[in-house]
């Protein structure tokens, strides 16, 4: 159940996390035109539409020199994929950190992503970056993740 949907989610995570510079055209092609991405639930501002999602993901990646996604668990239905993962990030300043992330993906009948919601501990990430949780929330709301 949900294997094609899992393949789409695996593809977007692999494309985004395994390259020195992700091919954002390939990433964007996995999203439906009217897709929504919320990079931090509940306080992050949803990004609406493929172009806005690609812009947000590009902004995120601009802060890393590398990022590796370690999928710990994946479960699916014919319309939803749930992932538990650990993202290992090397920041531009050389500092390495990881965060634990749960994400829910919704897919359409063509197995394109129509919604992606990420849940992670903003206070933990803020601690790792030596900033406040409010600063993380502000960045996510302004599209400066």
Q: What is the CATH number of the domain that holds 54?
A: 3.10.450.50
Domain around 60: 3-142
Integer-rounded Cα radius of gyration of the chain: 14
CA distance 65 to 93: 8
Domains identified in the chain, total number: 1
68-99 pLDDT, tens digit each = 889 999 999 989 999 999 989 888 888 888 89
Question: What is the Cβ-side half-sphere exposure of residue 139, based on CA atoms within 13 angstroms?
Answer: 16
Q: Give the mean pLDDT of 49-77.
A: 90
CA distance 25 to 48: 17
Q: Tell me 46's DSSP state.
A: P
Instruction: Provide the total of helices (H) and of strands (E) in the chain, helices listed first.
Output: 5, 6
């Amino acid at each position: 159940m949900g294997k094609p949907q899992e393949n789409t989610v695996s593809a977007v995570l692999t494309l985004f996390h395994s390259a020195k510079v992700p091919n954002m055209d390939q990433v964007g092609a996995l999203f439906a035109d009217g897709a929504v991405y919320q990079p931090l639930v509940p306080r992050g501002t949803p990004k609406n539409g493929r172009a806005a999602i690609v812009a947000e993901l590009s902004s995120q990646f601009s802060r890393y020199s590398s990022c590796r996604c370690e999928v710990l668990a994946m479960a699916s239905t014919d319309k939803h994929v749930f992932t538990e993962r650990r993202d290992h990030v090397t920041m531009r300043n050389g500092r390495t950190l990881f965060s634990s992330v749960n994400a829910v993906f919704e897919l359409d009948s063509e197995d394109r992503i129509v919604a992606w919601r990420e849940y992670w501990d903003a206070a933990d990430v803020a601690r790792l970056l030596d900033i406040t949780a409010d600063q993380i929330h502000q960045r996510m709301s302004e599209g400066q993740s």
